[in-house]
Structure formats: C-alpha cells, structure tokens
C-alpha cells in the first residue's frame, strides 16, 4: 500500500461538501403558537448571497409543521429585501429556505412572519454581516496554486534526477 | 410523528456535486485498473474485491448525501450513525478492495512512470507510509481523533462551522483508514508483526468505543449545547437522543470490532492446510500500451469518416452564415439583438476555442467558406499555383492584425451590417482565390481565421497520425496526399508520415478516406506545440503564434476600462514582444532563430487560456441572447411561426465568483503548461540543470509578467458585450 497511501487518503477530502442541513442555528425561540428556529449559512454571514432556513414546530407538541407560510425580511438602513421561504429550497425537507442577498457589511435585522391558518407569529433578531473576503481569497488561492504546483514539479525533477543518477 | 414529517425527513437528501463526481470518477478509475490487473491476477482480484470497493464508495456517498447528513445538526443519533459509517463501514470496505494497485494501473503508463514515478520511488515516502501504517500509531491516531472530536467544545466547533465539520469527517475517515490497514492488510502490503496482535488491537479500540458510548448513554444530561438548546424533532428529548446515540455506538460499533476479532481468531486457530494459499507477490505483468483512436469509437468514428459527413456539417454552417448575413443587413442594427452580433462573436468564437482545447480544429472541419471554395474549384479555372514567395503565413498574419485592429476600431461586434460585410468579404475572397489557384491556397496562406485555428490546434489533444509507420513505408501510391479516383488527397499537402502536429490540418478527413490501407487514426496526444518538426524554426509560424497569444491579452484588455481607450495595451504587447526577441537572441545552445521560434510557440497555452477565459465570460454572460435573437430575426424576416422576441436582462450562467474561478483556473493551467514546455525546451538545449535554469529564467519571468497582466485584466469589470442591458 505504502506509496499510494496518499491516493487513499485523498478520499478523505471528499467528505467535503457534507454540510447541507441548513447551516448554523441563529435563533430558536417560541413565538405565538410556534417554536421557530432560524438557521443561516455561511457562518459567519458575509456580504453576498446567504441561505436562510427556518424550522417551524408546534409549540406544545414539538411536531414539525411543514406547511406554514413564512416571509423573511432582512433590513439594514435603507436596504431591505423580503422573500417567501419554500420547502423545495432546502435539502433538509423539514425546513423552509430562501436565498437572500446582503448588500453590505453591518448589523442586519432579520424578521420572520409565520402564518398558518388563523395563527400568526412574528419575531426578529439581529445578525452581523461581515465584509466579503471570498473574492480576495479566491484570487489568492488561484494565484498561489501554480506556485505550489511548480514547487511540486521542482521536487519531482530533483527526485527524478537522483533516481536516474 | 406524522407521515408527512417522516416522509420529509426521509426525503432530505443532499447531492454534493463535487463529492459525487469525485466518487464516481474513483469508481471508474478503480474498475478500469481492476479489469487490467484481473487479467494477470484473477485469484487476487476476484469480483468480490470490486464489490467491496464499490460498496465502500457507496457507503461514503450515503454518509455525506443521505438524510443522515442533513439531519445531523438536529439529531445526535443521525450524526453518530454518520460517524459510524465513516469510521467502521467505509474504511474496511475500501481496503478490502486492495485499491492501491488497481488505482495506479488505471492511470496512463506515461503518467505513472514519468509523473508519479519519481514520487513513488522516494524512500522518504516509504518511510512516512511505514510510520503512518504502524499499528501502534494507527491505533492511537484513530482513537485520539475519535475521542478528541467528541469533546463538547470540538464537537460544537464542527456543528457551528461547515469547514471544521468537513475537517472532522476527514479526520475520522483518514485515521480509520490507517486503523483498519493492519487489520485488513490490503494486497500487496505485508503483515508487520504477529497476526495475534490484531486481537488486542481491535478489542482495545472496542473498549475506547464502549467507554465513550457508556458516557453518552449514562451521563444524565445532554452534553452538547447545540442539541440541548436547539429544536427537538420526532418527539425525542435531547437527553433521549444522546442516550440512543450512545447505545447505537456501543452495540453496532462493538459488532464492527468484535466480528473481525472472531474471524482473525478462527483463521489463526485453524490448521495451516485450511488457510488460503499465499498469493504470489511477483512483479505485475505489463499491459500492451494502446493509443486512443477517436476514429475507432463507434458512431463518432463512423460520422467522421462518412463520405458526406463533412459536407453535411459545412452545409449547416453555410445556411447559418447566410442567415447571419441576411439578418446583419436587414435585421435590427443592434449587435446584441441581431444574429450577426450574437452568433459569431458570442457563440462561435467561444465554442471554437473550447473545441480547439478539448478536441481539435472543429471550426475548419465545418467551415462554411469551404462550399464557395468547392464551387470555385468546379469551374475548372484553378490552374495557377500559389506564388512561391507567398507560401508563408505573412499574408494571413497581416490580415489577422488588420482584423483585430478593425474589430475594435469599427466596433464590428456591435454593428451587424459590418459583420455581414465581413462575412461577404470572406466568402468572396475564398471564392476568388480558390477559383484561380490550385489546392487549398486560401486555407493555407490567406485565411486569418484558419491560421488562428492552426496555431491553436497545436495544443489540441487529438491529431491525425499513421496507425502503423511500416505500412506507410511500404505504401507506393501515397493516396493520403495524391488522392485516387474516388477520393482526393490532402489539399494542404500534409504527407502523413512526415506530418508534425496539427499545423495546417483542417481535419477534413480526406487523407483518412483516401488511404487504401485504413492506416490513419485520430489519436489522443499530449499537447506539445514545441515539437512541430519543420515548423519549429519558421519565423512566420512563430510570429503567427505570438500574434495569437498576445492578441488574446489585447482583446481581453480592450474590454476593461483602464485599457479600453488607452494605447497602454499596445505598449504592453510591444514590451512583451521585445523581451521575447531579446530572450531569443540571448539564448545559446540552439540557433537564435530556433530559440525565438520555439519559445514563442511555447507561449501558446497561456495565450489560448486567456482567449478561453475571455470568450467564456462573454458566452456565460450572454448565453441567453441566442433564443431572442433568433426570434427577433424571425420577426424581422416576417416568419411569424416563431414567437416574438422577449428581451430582458438575463442572469449570467455562472455567479461572478464561479466565473472568476473558471477563468483563473484556465489561466493557471495555461501558465503551467507554458512553463513546462519552456522547461522541456531548455532541457533539450542544455545538459546541465543549472544552465537550463539560467536559460529559462528570463523567459519564465516574462511569462510570469504576462500571466500577472492576465490576472489583472480578469479582475477588472469587463464590458458585457452581446448582452442587452436596457431593452
């Protein structure tokens, strides 16, 4: 096995992208007849697109409610976006999700309005949106990638020469 | 729990694209290698090995894509089941597949020998692997990772952060592969120490598992705050969930450790005669190297060789070109709303460059300008030979520079009528040249588009080559170039045994159809534009490739604000050209002429990468304009069968960061291939490494500067040509 251990170990890398369950819990709170949990991904939230997911449960029985209508509003100063959440947007089908766009860094207020039959409840929370570093990181990654490969090639050539010599 | 909630939970599958693609690719790679090695070692590689490995991959996919993954933030039981699969199901199954040799044998021999070979032969790698797979270290690694990640702060970190969650899973999988390695002893590894040692090894791991499971089951409180404070689903309390998770780990986890204990014990206690025969560890038999021939592929091969296959492609392209000209003259005079603005500049250019990099010179194969050429030939007036002093690329180079300049100066992309005039001029030139001159004079010496494709096709992964050189040597008729009564030979005078690379090849397949010995294949080859035989010291070809390379940067630079109206881009090009000339002149070893020519050709990967990055941006941002442009053309022509065009601002095909990733990845690949080709050149010219490095350094620095300019251009906001911004 020895030299090809790396090939097998590389399988470990493929456990990446295993996170598809709605993200990190931002809020879990009772409101009216509901228990509402808000998840967000990515964490921490950054300027750009984010997935917000909501689980609504019956407050007393803790039964997950699949059919409430959920409107989510994110607001910061004059910036405001309201979206209707949908179950098809979430890989975890117990949740309803939507994609929202945070246009700038700062404290954003997230407000949820949940309606089911004659019942309705609303709650809100504040979350911090950090500046977007993804583009800078992406550029650095792709600029440094060739450097890494060139170094690997240098090692390769040295080893080759040594084995031939 | 209601049925609908239960259904929703079971339907919570995620489909991680890259992970799924990676696992599928690994499965295919393994099967390819397994089939090869099974021919020589059927006893070591029965079907059960393949089933085990595939089962391991499937289990891994289930762990990361099933509801176990999507529910792991809500239910500790689901999370622990996922960990159990990653640690106790996936690793033994993968190792039972003895994956090392099949995965290596699946790779092309040259990659294995020259690419991985030096690494695989490194003693240091053996030493590291020897240490990592030592039973004591493997046991400690797995159990420490197992315990450490279950400490509440670490566990909470993984639940909060997707990145750490992935690290946690990777830790479990990797350390478990190490742990199970001495237990399974996948072929061709050799047992280290007595097999009896595996009994305390496994029992010890089971004791650790039992201790943690018991702690979770009997702790009396929920120890992980995320579950304690989060929503409870399925009517299970956080503490109940934790107890159930502990019980699951205890019972099922113990089974995974104790069953192998029994199997090993029975094996060791059974008489020696009953044990399976030791497998031989001799050298692996070699496969006959076979080259991939696209013409041997069913359907594709038949299509490429079909007598009228190329004509069918050309006819379709001709009809499209006529429509483009008609719409250019009679349709809306806005580039992004007209076929003449959308098809050639947004679609054909991008697909053409991608086809060059993925397949070959597909544009010339289906060139619409061939049909008037054929018509000109059939008039019987083609008696003149192309003048000897013009049998170079200089005419085409001048035309190409003229085209690139006029494209920007007259904004041809935004004026459909000008595009239509350009196409008419092209048809006329092809008709006139080939009406009076023999052979494919237009293609070979005049057509700037063809020269761009010829230069680009030096990088293409397929090339026409003789299947058997000895057959060519015995051949007396040379139909591939001379033709025969049924089929003409190569009009561009490329004699198959001497053909080097794809320069001047239009992929017309005339040689393939003419060869009476069926001795020509379309083979997959490594991209190597520096080994182009007679072309490697021709100044005109070198300048042609330089124009192709540098125009890629100039063209993209024209789309970004800091350079679009500035002569700076031309200054940059001149500086690069001057540096290249100086490097060529300074080079010792080969002749200066050859050094300049071959260094110039080695820049092609970087240049084509820039072209691809630039043109794919326009394709992905303007991909949705074709359908409305066709409808608009239909309306303009009075064809009311088509629905009226609906113009609107469409979202790009890829988000901005994904597009940038694709572009930078292309540029990275171009840079690396360019540097590699340069390195190969200086190695040929200089025996000593230090001298080769000195020879390469100034050129490589120039390449790095050009790459940096490319990255800078890609980071600037680029004009959204071919897109309707304000309908």
Q: What is the pLDDT of residues B43-86, one digit of tens each?
A: 889 999 999 999 999 999 999 888 888 888 888 999 999 999 99
Nearest neighbour of B232 by CB, restricted to A2, A62, A157? A62
pLDDT at B257: 92
CA of B550: how far to CAs of B322, B343, B516, B575, in Å?
31, 24, 42, 11
Instruction: Specify the higher pLDDT residue, B586 or B99.
Output: B99
Residue A36 has a pLDDT of 92
More confident site: A121 or B588: A121
**CA distances from residue B398 to B181, B231, B368, B488, B547 in whole angstroms, order as listed:** 65, 72, 22, 31, 10
Q: Which residue, B57, B63, B104, B102, is CA-closest to B81?
A: B63
Set of chain A residues whose Cβ sits within 8 Å of the Cβ of B231: 28, 35, 37, 55, 57, 62
Least confident of A101-105, B131-135, B207-211, B232-236: B232-236
Angle at CA of residue B559, ends B407 and B617, nearest 5°: 105
* ipTM of the complex model: 0.71
Helices (H), B638-723: 656-685, 689-715
Whether B13 has its CB under 8 Å from any CB of chain A: the answer is yes
Q: What is the rounded distance in angstroms from the CA atom of residue B82 to the CA atom of residue B206?
A: 18
**DSSP notation for B398-429:** HHHHHHHHHHHHTTGGG-HHHHHHHHHHHHHH
- Selected residues 26-65 of chain B with any CB under 8 Å from a CB in chain A: 26, 60, 63-64
Give the torsion sign (CA, B346, B351, B356, B362): negative
**Residue B245: HSE in the Cβ half-sphere, 13 Å Cα cutoff:** 29
For the segment A4-10, the average pLDDT, to the nearest whole number, is 43
Find out whether B432 and B376 touch, Cβ atoms under 8 Å: yes
B-chain residues within 8 Å CB-CB of A4?
99-100, 103-104, 120
Work out the minimum CA distance from A78 to partner chain B, whole angstroms. 24
Cα A79 to Cα A43, A70, B317: the distances in Å are: 21, 20, 49
pLDDT of residue B271: 63
Residue B565: pLDDT band (50, 70, 90) is low
Q: Does B651 touch chain A (CB under 8 A)?
A: no
Separation of alpha carbons B460 and B453, rounded Å: 10
Nearest to B653 by CA among B632, B671, B678, B626: B626
Selection from A77-91, B363-377, B412-426 with the highest mean pLDDT: B412-426
**DSSP string over B31-91:** HHHHHHHHHH-TTTS-HHHHHHHHHHHHHHHHHHHSHHHHTTTT-HHHHHHHHHIIIIIHH
Mutation target vs B (from A18, A30, A144; most B CBs, 10 A cutoff) = A18
Work out the end-to-end distance of chain A between its first and last CA atoms, rounded to an integer number of angstroms: 26
Q: How far apart are CA B391 and CA B496, in angstroms?
A: 20
Place B583 in a pLDDT band, splitting at 50, 70 and 90: low
List, for residues B238-249, the tens digit of each pLDDT value. 888 999 999 999
Closest by Cβ to A94, choosing from B9, B23, B174: B9
pLDDT band for position B531 (50/70/90)?
Answer: low
Contact A87 B672 (CB under 8 A): no
B694 reaches A (C-beta below 8 A): no
A48-83: burial string, b at 16+ Cβ within 10 Å, e else: bebbbbbbbbeeeeebbbbebebebbbebeeeeeeb
Average the pLDDT over A104-129 and give the result. 91
Question: pLDDT tens, B620-649?
Answer: 888 888 888 888 888 887 776 666 666 665
Q: Which residues of A touch B668 (CB under 8 A)?
A: 142, 145-146
* Distance between first and last Cα of chain B: 53
- Torsion from C-alpha of B687, B693, B697, B703, nearest 10 degrees: 80
pLDDT value at B591 more than 80 = no
When the pLDDT of each residue in chain A is averaged and rounded to a whole number, the result is: 81
Average of per-residue pLDDT values in chain B: 84
Radius of gyration of chain B (CA): 32
Nearest in space to B721 (alpha carbons), one of B614, B600, B571, B582 = B614
Taking CA atoms, what residue in B is nearest to A138?
B661
Helices (H), B66-161: 67-70, 76-84, 90-96, 100-105, 109-110, 117-120, 123-132, 135-148, 152-160
Instruction: Report the residue from A20, A23, A150 with minimal CB separation from B16.
Output: A20
B104: nearest CB among A4, A55, A157: A4
> A143, B71: Cβ pair inside 8 Å?
no
Name which of B241-245, B398-402, B720-724 the model is least confident about. B720-724
Alpha carbons A40 and B466: distance in angstroms, whole number: 60
* Residue pair B524/B300 in contact by the 8 Å Cβ criterion: no
Tell me the residues of chain A between 93 and 112 that have a Cβ less than 8 Å away from chain B. Answer: 93-94
Q: What distance lies between CA B412 and its chain's CA centroid?
A: 33
Question: What CA–CA distance (Å, rounded) separates B546 from B249?
Answer: 64
Mean predicted confidence (pLDDT) in B377-382:
77
pLDDT of residue B289: 43
| Residue B540, H or E segment | helix B539-557
Interface of B with A in 213-252 (CB under 8 A): 226, 229-233, 235
Closest listed residue to residue B622, CA positions, set B349, B253, B374, B437? B349
CA separation for the pair B93, B429 (Å, rounded): 66
- For an interface test with A, the pick among B58, B118, B706 (most A C-beta atoms closer than 10 Å) comes out as B118
* Interface contact B119, partner A, CB < 8 A: yes
pLDDT of residue B276 exceeding 60, the answer is no
d(CA B455, CA B459): 8
Are the C-beta atoms of residues B54 and B77 closer than 8 Å to each other? Answer: no
DSSP 3-state of B547: helix
Rounded to the nearest angstrom, the gap between the alpha carbon of residue B390 and the centroid of all alpha carbons in its chain is 39
Check if B383 contacts A (Cβ < 8 Å).
Answer: no
Q: Is the pLDDT of residue B353 over 90?
A: yes
DSSP letter (8 states) at residue B530: T
Return the closest-CA partner of residue B390 out of B441, B455, B447, B450.
B441
B94 CB near a chain A CB, below 8 Å?
A: yes
**SS3 sequence, B188-227?**
CCCCCCCHHHHHHHHHHHHHHHHHHHHHHHHCCCCCCHHH
Instruction: Encode pLDDT of B118-155 as tens digits.
Output: 888 888 888 888 888 888 889 999 999 999 999 999 99
Task: Decide: residue B61, CB within 10 A, 0-12 exposed, 13-18 middle, 19+ buried.
Answer: buried
Contact A147/B at CB under 8 A? no
pLDDT value for B352: 93
At residue B389 the predicted structure's pLDDT band, cuts being 50, 70 and 90, is: confident
* Sign of the CA dihedral with B221 first, then B223, B227, and B233 last: negative
* Interface contact A28, partner B, CB < 8 A: yes
Do residue A16 and residue B19 have CB atoms under 8 angstroms apart?
yes
Q: Is residue A2 pLDDT above 50, yes or no? A: no
Q: What is the chain A residue with the closest CA to B115?
A: A156
Instruction: Give A143's DSSP letter.
Output: H
Quick one: average pLDDT of B605-628? Answer: 90
pLDDT higher than 50, residue B280: no
Residues 6 or more apart from B505 whose CB is under 8 A from it?
Answer: B361, B454, B457, B463, B464, B492, B494, B499
Helical pair B539-557 and B604-621, crossing angle rounded to 10 deg: 30
Helix (H, G, I), strand (E, B), or coil: what is residue B329?
helix
């Amino acid at each position: 096995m020895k030299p090809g251990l790396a090939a097998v170990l590389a399988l470990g890398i493929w456990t990446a992208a295993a996170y598809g369950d709605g993200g990190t819990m931002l809020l879990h709170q009772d409101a009216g007849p509901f228990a509402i949990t808000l998840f967000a991904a990515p964490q921490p939230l950054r300027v750009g697109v984010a997935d917000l997911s909501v689980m609504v449960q019956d407050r007393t029985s803790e039964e997950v409610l699949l059919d409430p209508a959920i409107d989510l509003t994110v607001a910061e100063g004059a910036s405001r976006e309201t979206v209707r959440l949908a179950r098809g947007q979430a890989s975890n089908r117990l949740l309803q999700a939507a994609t929202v766009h945070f246009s700038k860094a700062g404290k954003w207020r997230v407000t949820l309005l949940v309606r089911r039959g004659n019942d309705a409840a609303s709650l809100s929370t504040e979350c911090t949106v950090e500046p977007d570093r993804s583009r800078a990181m992406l550029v650095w990654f792709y600029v440094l990638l060739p450097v890494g490969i060139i170094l690997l090639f240098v090692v390769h050539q040295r080893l080759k020469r040594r084995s031939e010599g | 729990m209601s049925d609908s909630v239960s259904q929703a939970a079971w339907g919570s599958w995620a489909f991680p694209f890259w992970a799924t693609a990676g696992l599928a690719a690994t499965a295919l790679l393994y099967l390819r290698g397994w089939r090869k090695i099974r021919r020589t070692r059927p006893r070591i590689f029965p079907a059960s090995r393949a089933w085990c490995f595939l089962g391991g991959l499937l289990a891994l996919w289930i762990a990361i894509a099933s509801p176990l993954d999507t529910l792991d933030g809500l239910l500790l039981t689901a999370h622990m089941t996922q960990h159990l699969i990653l640690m106790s199901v996936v690793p033994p199954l993968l190792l039972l597949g003895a994956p090392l040799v099949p995965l290596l044998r699946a790779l092309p021999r040259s990659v294995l020998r020259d690419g991985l070979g030096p690494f695989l032969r490194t003693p240091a790698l053996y030493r590291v692997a020897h240490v990592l797979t030592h039973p004591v270290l493997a046991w400690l690694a797995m159990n420490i990772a197992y315990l450490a990640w279950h400490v509440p702060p670490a566990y909470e970190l993984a639940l909060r952060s997707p990145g750490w969650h992935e690290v946690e899973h990777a830790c479990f999988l990797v350390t478990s592969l190490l742990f199970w390695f001495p237990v399974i002893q996948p072929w061709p590894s050799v047992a280290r120490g007595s097999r009896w040692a595996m009994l305390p090894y496994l029992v010890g791991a089971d004791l650790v598992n039992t201790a943690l499971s018991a702690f979770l089951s009997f702790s009396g409180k929920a120890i992980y705050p995320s579950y304690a404070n989060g929503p409870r689903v399925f009517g299970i309390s956080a503490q109940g969930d934790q107890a159930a998770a502990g019980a699951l780990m205890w019972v099922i986890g113990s089974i995974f450790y104790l069953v192998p204990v029994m199997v090993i014990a029975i094996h060791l206690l059974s008489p020696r005669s009953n044990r399976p025969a030791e497998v031989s560890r001799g050298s692996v038999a070699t496969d006959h190297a076979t080259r991939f021939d696209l013409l041997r592929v069913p359907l594709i091969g038949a299509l490429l060789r079909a007598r009228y296959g190329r004509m069918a492609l050309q006819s379709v392209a001709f009809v499209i070109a006529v429509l483009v000209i008609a719409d250019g003259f009679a349709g809306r005079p806005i580039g992004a709303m007209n076929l003449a603005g959308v098809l050639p500049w947004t679609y054909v250019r991008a697909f053409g460059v991608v086809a060059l990099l993925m397949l070959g010179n597909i544009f010339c194969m289906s060139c619409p300008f061939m049909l008037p050429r054929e018509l000109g030939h059939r008039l019987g007036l083609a008696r003149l030979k192309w003048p000897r002093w013009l049998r170079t690329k200089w005419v085409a180079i001048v035309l190409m520079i003229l085209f690139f300049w006029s494209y920007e100066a007259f904004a041809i992309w935004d004026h459909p009528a000008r595009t239509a005039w350009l196409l008419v001029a092209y048809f006329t030139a092809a008709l006139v040249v080939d009406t009076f001159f023999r052979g494919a004079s237009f293609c070979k010496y005049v057509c700037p588009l063809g020269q761009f494709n010829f230069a680009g096709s030096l990088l293409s992964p397929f090339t026409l080559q003789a299947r058997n050189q000895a057959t060519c040597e015995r051949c007396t008729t040379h139909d591939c170039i001379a033709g025969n009564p049924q089929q003409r030979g190569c009009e561009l005078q490329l004699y198959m045994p001497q053909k080097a690379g794809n320069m001047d090849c239009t992929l017309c397949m005339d040689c393939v159809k003419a060869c009476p010995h069926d001795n020509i294949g379309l083979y997959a080859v490594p991209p190597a534009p520096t080994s182009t035989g007679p072309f490697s010291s021709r100044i005109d070809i070198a300048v042609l490739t330089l124009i192709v390379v540098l125009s890629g940067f100039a063209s993209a630079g024209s789309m970004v604000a800091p350079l679009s109206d500035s002569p700076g881009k031309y200054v940059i090009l001149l500086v690069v050209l001057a540096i290249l000339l100086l490097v060529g002149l300074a080079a010792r070893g080969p002749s200066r002429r050859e050094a300049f020519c071959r260094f110039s050709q080695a820049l092609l990967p970087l240049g084509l990468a820039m072209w691809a990055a630039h043109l794919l941006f326009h394709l992905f941002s303007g991909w949705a304009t074709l359908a409305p442009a066709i409808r608009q053309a239909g309306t303009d022509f009075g064809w009311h069968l088509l629905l009226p065009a609906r113009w609107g601002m469409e979202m790009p095909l890829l988000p901005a960061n994904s597009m940038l990733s694709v572009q930078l990845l292309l540029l990275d690949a171009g840079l690396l291939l360019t540097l590699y080709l340069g390195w190969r050149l200086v190695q040929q010219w200089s025996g000593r490494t230090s001298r080769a490095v000195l020879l390469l350094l100034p050129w490589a620095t120039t390449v790095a500067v050009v790459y940096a300019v490319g990255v800078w251009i890609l980071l600037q906001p680029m004009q959204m040509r071919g897109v309707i911004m304000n309908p």
